[in-house]
Amino acid sequence: MAQTFSADSHDTAALSQRIEKRWALLMVSIIGLLVAVMIFTGLHWAMMPPSRVETIDPSTLHLSGEFVESNLGSAVEADGSVTVRVIGQQYSFTPQCLVVPAKTPIRFRVTSADVIHGMLITGTNINSMVEPGYISTFKTEFKQAGDHLMPCHEYCGAGHEAMWANVKVVDKDAFSKMAVNTRRLTCDL
Ligand code: CUA
């Protein structure tokens, strides 16, 4: 009787080990499949994690450095591309009106002076978080002239729904003329 019991428990142990091995194999296969999907989509769509993180002290934005008020707006670079610097704060963007040329490589650099905001430009796929302490950067190009709205899309407090800016895309030539006399362009009144 005792022997039978011992044989039974041996069988049970072997069985549970087999089942455990099967489950472990299934889990490893699922992880392997997910990693394979990540590698495939990464290569297929040339997607990459952000290559670098730029940080900035939100409490001194207005005092010195890249985001002082006189440096905000659109700047023409030596290679003809345009860099647009914007600050978001409760409850507005500075500048309130951005002016950029069409058919020109444009790089946005945006940060927040207080809490997390968001920005999207209507009619385009531009959509980014705007976080205090970090500089959000992305490149884009507007195909044609036109007016767009740029609302904040992260709930940032009581005045959230009133937080938005205008984006005016103008012809390249018109922009060049405007840029002759001005180091930083905006269409703020
Ligand atoms: Cu800023 Cu919502």
Residue 48 has pLDDT above 80, yes or no: no
Question: How far does the centroid of ligand 1 lie from the alpha carbon of residue 117, in Å?
Answer: 5
Model-level pTM? 0.74
Mean pLDDT of 142-146: 95
pLDDT in tens, 73-103: 999 999 999 999 999 999 999 999 999 999 9
Torsion-angle region of 146 (φ positive above 0: left; ψ -120 to 50: alpha; else: beta): left
Alpha-carbon distance of 168 to 178, in angstroms, equals 13
Q: Which ligand 1 atom lies nearest to the CA of residue 117?
A: 1
For residue 112, which of 97, 98, 96, 91 has the smallest C-alpha distance?
91
Pocket (CB within 6 angstroms of ligand 1): 88, 91, 117, 152, 154-156, 160, 163
Query: What is the model's pLDDT at position 164?
Result: 96
Beta strand pairing call for 127-130 and 117-120 = antiparallel
Query: What is the model's pLDDT at position 1?
Result: 47
Mean pLDDT of 22-47: 91
Q: Which tokens hold the place of 178? A: 């405007």
Q: Which amino acid is located at 130 in the chain?
A: V
Query: What is the model's pLDDT at position 51?
Result: 60
Q: What confidence category does residue 9 fall into, taking pLDDT thresholds of 50, 70 and 90?
A: confident
Which residue's CA is minimally distant from atom 1 of ligand 1?
Answer: 117
Alpha-carbon distance of 114 to 118, in angstroms, equals 12
Query: What is the model's pLDDT at position 5?
Result: 55
